[in-house]
């Protein structure tokens, strides 16, 4: 008899619609586990949300590292309830703690045009793009770069006032995110990698990044590499988003591109993301791009697809690419207007959160 590997997943629904979309994410993971024979064990945690903060005066218990640090992944909903706690307190007290402690140095965001979701972008001839025609993965460096706290103010309050903030790039930090991006590009049919910098304006750190891209490209002769300046790249994203496959950038540029790319493919309710520690020394975290959406929370109408798709990314990371692909196909089946599946109000329908979750799970069971 063989013993099945069981992956332990820490489930943290968080605030607002996080608690409404999470059950649907779990429903679909369960269906995938059954269909593909994947061992998943879910542990639920009630911290990282405002009710916990209200009881304890902090977002996380003191022993949070011990409680979730041994899990294989963290499946997260959303955090933030500005009416009760300022966003910087809820965010710094939870997600950013995880990111730092678990060295999640890759932020990954897929942007794929799905059926029945209108892209705000049309082709130059005015026609819309077909589903799947835009299909890119944004890889953002998540721990260093422009978001450093090195710097400060001098001569404050005088005419000579001077403010400086340093960008920090280390070979370790740059190479590890580039390696991840090259490996990812290699695993995809197009094997195409785009890197964004601004080496003509930021003339010390950005040329260094470019240099490391060229050095690493030598080890990946099968990957086609393009290097762009960030300004022209954003224009290309709008004019010909179908041209991109894997796109890698520093913390700041990656931050901007990872909002721009999902915007090119429609609604925020369906976009997934991952914060990865690719070496698997610590758990990686999977969450929808959207926040807690207080404006629609409690009504059962949030779109659960961002959460469901994030679950697919989690299975891919745990080694189940086939299960990932099947979940994405099941989402496409439900979204395809030809099938008349349920749609939440953000996609122009009248369905409820659970209707969509059930429909995706059914499509998955029936072999999408």
Q: What residues from 306 to 345 belong to the interface with Mg ion (CB under 5 A)?
A: none
Q: Which is nearer to ligand ATP, 9 or 21 (CB)?
A: 21
* Residue 210 to residue 204: CA distance in whole angstroms: 10
Q: Is 291 in the site for ligand ATP (CB under 6 A)?
A: yes
* Residue 97 to residue 103: CA distance in whole angstroms: 10
* Residue 208 to residue 2: CA distance in whole angstroms: 49
Strand partners, 194: 226, 247
* Residue 30 to residue 22: CA distance in whole angstroms: 12
Q: Is 303 in the site for ligand ATP (CB under 6 A)?
A: yes
Q: Which is nearer to ligand ATP, 20 or 245 (CB)?
A: 20
Q: Minimum CB separation from Mg ion for residue 346, in Å?
A: 15
Strand partners, 107: 140, 275
Q: Which is nearer to Mg ion, 13 or 80 (CB)?
A: 80
Coil/strand/helix, residue 244 = coil
A 10 A CB-CB count for 367 gives 10
**From Mg ion, ligand ATP, none, which one binds at residue 264 (CB under 5 to 8 Å depending on kind)?**
none
Q: Which is nearer to Mg ion, 169 or 289 (CB)?
A: 289
Q: Is 14 in the site for Mg ion (CB under 5 A)?
A: no
Q: Is 306 in the site for ligand ATP (CB under 6 A)?
A: yes
Q: Is 80 in the site for Mg ion (CB under 5 A)?
A: yes
Q: Minimum CB separation from ligand ATP for residue 154, in Å?
A: 32
Q: Minimum CB separation from ligand ATP for residue 304, in Å?
A: 7
Coil/strand/helix, residue 80 = coil
Q: What residues from 279 to 308 belong to the interface with Mg ion (CB under 5 A)?
A: 291
Q: Minimum CB separation from ligand ATP for residue 302, in Å?
A: 4
Q: Identify the helix (H) or strand (E) that includes residue 39.
A: strand 39-44
Q: Counting Cβ atoms within 10 Å, is residue 37 exposed (0-12), middle (13-18) or buried (19+)?
A: exposed
- Contact set with ligand ATP (CB under 6 A): 17, 21, 80, 268-269, 290-293, 295-296, 302-303, 306, 344, 346
């Amino acid at each position: 008899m063989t013993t099945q590997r069981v992956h332990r997943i820490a489930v943290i629904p968080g605030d607002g619609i996080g608690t409404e979309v999470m059950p649907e994410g779990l429903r679909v993971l369960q269906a995938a586990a059954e269909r593909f024979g994947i061992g998943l064990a879910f542990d639920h945690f009630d911290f990282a949300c405002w009710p916990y903060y209200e009881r304890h005066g902090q977002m996380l218990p003191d022993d949070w590292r011990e409680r979730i640090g041994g899990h294989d992944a963290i499946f997260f909903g959303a955090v933030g309830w500005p009416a009760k706690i300022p966003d910087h307190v809820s965010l710094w007290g939870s997600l950013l703690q995880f990111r730092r402690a678990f060295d999640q140095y890759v932020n990954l965001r897929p942007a794929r045009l799905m059926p029945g979701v209108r892209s705000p972008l049309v082709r130059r001839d005015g026609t819309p793009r077909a589903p799947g025609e835009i299909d890119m993965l944004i890889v953002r460096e998540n721990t260093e770069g422009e978001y450093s706290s090195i710097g400060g103010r001098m001569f404050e309050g005088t005419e000579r006032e001077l403010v400086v903030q340093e960008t920090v790039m280390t070979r370790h930090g740059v190479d590890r995110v580039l390696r991840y991006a090259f490996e990812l590009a290699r695993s995809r049919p197009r094997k195409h990698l785009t890197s964004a910098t601004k080496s003509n304006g930021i003339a010390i750190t950005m040329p260094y990044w470019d240099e490391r891209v060229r050095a690493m490209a030598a080890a990946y002769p099968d990957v086609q590499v393009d290097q762009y300046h960030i300004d022209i790249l954003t224009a290309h994203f709008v004019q010909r988003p179908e041209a991109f496959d894997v796109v890698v950038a520093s913390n700041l540029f990656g931050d901007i591109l990872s909002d721009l790319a999902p915007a090119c493919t429609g609604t925020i309710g369906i976009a997934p993301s991952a914060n990865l520690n690719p070496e698997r020394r610590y758990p990686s975290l999977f969450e929808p791009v959207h926040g807690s959406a207080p404006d629609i929370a409690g009504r059962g109408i949030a779109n659960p697809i961002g959460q469901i798709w994030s679950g697919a990314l989690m299975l891919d990371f745990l080694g189940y690419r086939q299960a990932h692909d099947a979940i994405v196909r099941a989402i496409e089946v439900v979204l395809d207007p030809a099938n008349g599946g349920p749609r939440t109000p953000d996609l122009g329908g009248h369905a409820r959160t659970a209707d969509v979750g059930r429909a995706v799970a059914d499509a998955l069971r029936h072999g999408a």
